[in-house]
Amino acid sequence: MNIIFNFFNNILGSIFNLTGDWGIAIILLTILVRIILFPFSIKQKSEMYNQQRISQKIQDIKTKYKNNEKKVKEETVKYEQELAKSTLGCLVTFIQLPVLFTLYNVVMKMPVQVGTIILPWVSSIKMHDSYYIIPIIYGLVSICPQLITNLDYFKVLKEVKLSKTNLIITSIFSILITIKAPIALGLYFITTSLFTLFEEIGYRFYIKKFNVLSSNS
């Protein structure tokens, strides 16, 4: 962990030397981390998309042969084997945990109380936001990747209808974990969520284009 701490501490310090602002440095560091994790994230999205596609095929088979259980088993066995091959799961989330803990330590060990030009109402990014603006922003931004899956333009499969309860729970949870957290971590969470949003939009554009090309070929 010390190696990771020193690595990110040095990178954060180098970015600060270029920008002169710790808030901007944290945002750029977060973007850098997500760019490094980008191949893993895309691979994870591809597996999730493949799982949804296979699950949809299995459901279609069950509907088509609903009165023939033997035929259903024959037709679905190969798809069920494919589903069992998925290995990535929440890999990207788990990879980010050491980064999150390291960033927290880096921030808390800063020798001075510093603000940032992008949050003029903040006196120190080591403290929580007493105006609760950061938690509210994160609460709203965190649900955006889920919201676009319910927009017809971005749908790539017959996806499960978005649950309002899940949105509310996600938003409340996001607010709770940032309401007393250092503002620096709030910046990390917000930047990560925005990166995830644009990544999701880009991936769905790619899948839609791929599906169109496949259907025309």
What pLDDT does 91 receive? 61
Q: Domain locations in the chain?
A: 2-216
User: Per-block average pLDDT, block size 10, for the chain (217 residues)?
Assistant: 77 90 92 88 81 80 79 75 60 70 74 83 90 95 86 70 82 94 92 92 84 54
pTM for the structure as a whole? 0.83
Give tens-digit pLDDT for 77-96: 777 766 666 555 566 667 67
Q: How far apart are CA 121 and CA 133, in angstroms?
A: 10
What pLDDT does 212 receive? 56
CA separation, residue 87 to residues 51, 81, 91, 165 (Å): 11, 13, 9, 28
What pLDDT does 84 receive? 62
Residue with tokens 């020193």: 6
What pLDDT does 101 receive? 78
Q: How far apart are CA 217 and CA 39, in angstroms?
A: 27
Count CA atoms within 13 Å of residue 215 on its CB side: 6
Query: Which amino acid, residue 17?
Result: N
3-state SS class at 119:
strand
CA separation, residue 199 to residues 25, 40, 47, 141 (Å): 21, 12, 15, 14
Q: 148 near 197, Cβ under 8 Å?
A: yes
